[in-house]
């Protein structure tokens, strides 16, 4: 069993008290977060009160939910009524939502205890969690390295064992890449599987909420809790929710794992290549059939993704105008100055870059040349995967071309930063499910993640394959020194 399952089982049985579990979590946050800056807001009093209510329910004979007493942090772009939702931006520095996100209500209904909000790149735009008004988040394995992004805070909170699980959002790899850099499991569900209601939008056709955990079985349980149809999200799928956590222990015999050789070309570090190839070989030895697949349009994926994502960001962030809510410049000269100054002062460098590029590709004269062409390429990429999945159950890829890079290394080189997502954007463009799980360490002792992608709504099958790999390895059990203080 995983940390989430163990905790919930002990609390439900009365072997542990939720107040003690949450109290220990708060102590770990206080002792460890100063070195990594993963948590941007947490409410100790409220968390302990919620935990006390759990214990009271159990002591009075009332059944507790699947996540009974489990402390969880959520990325700070997921709306909560009881805590700020800043998106790591000066634009929303003091914003408190009037409603909870769908996933927040699901967690609370399952008796989880939400102890805080976790750091992120501003408005989820970045691959390193260095672009945040709260300051950068550091990698727990080496504080001179980045945590990955944009969900660096939730990944580090789990990797540092401050909490057993967290929620992030994934627009082009923002769960899987930090999971790889930090040595934890990161799951991006199929598009539409988890409601986006209450997730502050970046790229609406790409965004998806998913969990970070220390094990595949915990990721499956978290997905089980947060999945479900929601009428408030027009992209939410009306499909029965499988009991993911009880369907993991299935044989690998006859399973087909697709490998695209073009993904192991120039740009991939030797350490990452060797670890991923070793994972593939282990699956072969366990009974999987390894098949070669072609993804002919993969070389256009990064360009297509960033055009679409920036165009959608330009539209979604137009609402932050200094009028309705959020930051307003203190002394505007006139209406035009209020708009321009509020946005210029409230948004950070990377967000402004993406808004301007998105506005450019949507502008008259460039729409057909850039945005429309990117949509056509997206369609071709989806068709590539549809064809490939006729030959295999899952496709395996690296998560990132390297392990965690040093703090500041790519801040002034946007293209190099964007290329960190070269193996992850496929899943968002094609609406696939995908997972990153630990598969090794590089020569410097930094974690390496292995990625599996499955067809839309094949989350259960993908999780069972990932679980069988995890059963043959111990990489997910390794912890950074900060987690043993």
Catalytic residues, which ones? 75, 150, 174
β-pair partners for 450: 398, 437
The Cβ of residue 268 has, within 10 Å, a number of other Cβ atoms equal to 17
| Cis peptide preceding 411, ω within 30 of 0 | no
């Amino acid at each position: 069993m995983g940390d989430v399952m163990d905790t919930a089982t002990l609390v439900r049985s009365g072997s542990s008290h939720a107040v003690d579990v949450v109290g220990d979590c708060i102590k770990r946050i206080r002792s460890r977060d100063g070195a990594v800056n993963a948590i941007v807001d947490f409410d100790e009093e409220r968390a302990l009160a919620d935990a006390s209510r759990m214990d009271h329910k159990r002591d009075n004979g009332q059944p507790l939910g699947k996540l009974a007493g489990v402390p969880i942090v959520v990325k700070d772009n997921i709306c909560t009524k009881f805590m700020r939702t800043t998106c790591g931006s000066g634009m929303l520095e003091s914003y408190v939502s009037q409603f909870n996100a769908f996933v927040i209500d699901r967690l609370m209904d399952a008796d989880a205890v939400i102890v805080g909000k976790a750091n992120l790149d501003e408005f989820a735009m970045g691959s390193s969690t260095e672009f945040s008004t709260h300051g950068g988040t550091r990698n727990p394995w080496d504080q001179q390295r980045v945590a990955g992004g944009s969900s660096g805070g939730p990944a580090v909170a789990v990797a540092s064992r401050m909490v057993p699980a967290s929620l992030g959002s994934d627009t082009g790899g923002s769960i899987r890449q930090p999971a790889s850099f930090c040595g934890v499991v990161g799951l991006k569900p199929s598009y539409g599987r988890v409601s986006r209601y209450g997730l502050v939008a970046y790229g609406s056709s790409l965004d998806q909420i998913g969990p970070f955990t220390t094990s595949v079985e915990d990721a499956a349980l978290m997905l089980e809790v947060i999945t479900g149809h929601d009428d408030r999200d027009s992209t939410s799928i009306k499909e029965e929710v499988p009991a993911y956590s009880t369907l993991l222990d299935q044989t690998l015999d006859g399973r087909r794992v697709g490998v695209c050789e073009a993904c192991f070309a120039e740009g991939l570090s030797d350490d990452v290549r060797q670890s991923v190839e070793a994972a593939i070989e282990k699956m072969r030895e366990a009974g999987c059939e390894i098949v070669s697949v072609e993804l002919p349009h993969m070389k256009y994926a990064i360009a297509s993704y960033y055009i679409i994502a920036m165009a959608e960001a330009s539209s979604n962030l137009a609402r932050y105008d200094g009028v309705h809510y959020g930051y307003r410049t203190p002394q505007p000269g006139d209406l035009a100055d209020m708009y321009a100054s509020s946005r210029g002062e409230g948004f950070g460098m990377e967000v402004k870059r993406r808004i301007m590029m998105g506005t450019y590709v949507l502008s008259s004269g460039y729409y057909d040349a850039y945005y429309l062409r990117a949509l056509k390429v997206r369609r071709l990429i989806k068709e590539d995967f549809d064809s490939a999945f006729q030959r295999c159950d899952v496709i395996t890829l690296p998560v990132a071309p390297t392990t965690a890079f040093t703090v500041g290394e790519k801040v002034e080189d946007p293209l190099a930063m964007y290329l960190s997502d070269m193996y992850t954007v496929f899943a968002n463009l094609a609406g696939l499910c995908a997972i990153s799980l630990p598969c090794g360490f590089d020569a410097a002792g930094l974690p390496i993640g292995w990625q599996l992608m499955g067809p839309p709504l094949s989350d259960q099958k993908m999780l069972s394959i990932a679980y069988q790999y995890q059963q043959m390895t111990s990489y997910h059990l390794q912890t950074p020194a900060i987690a043993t203080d």
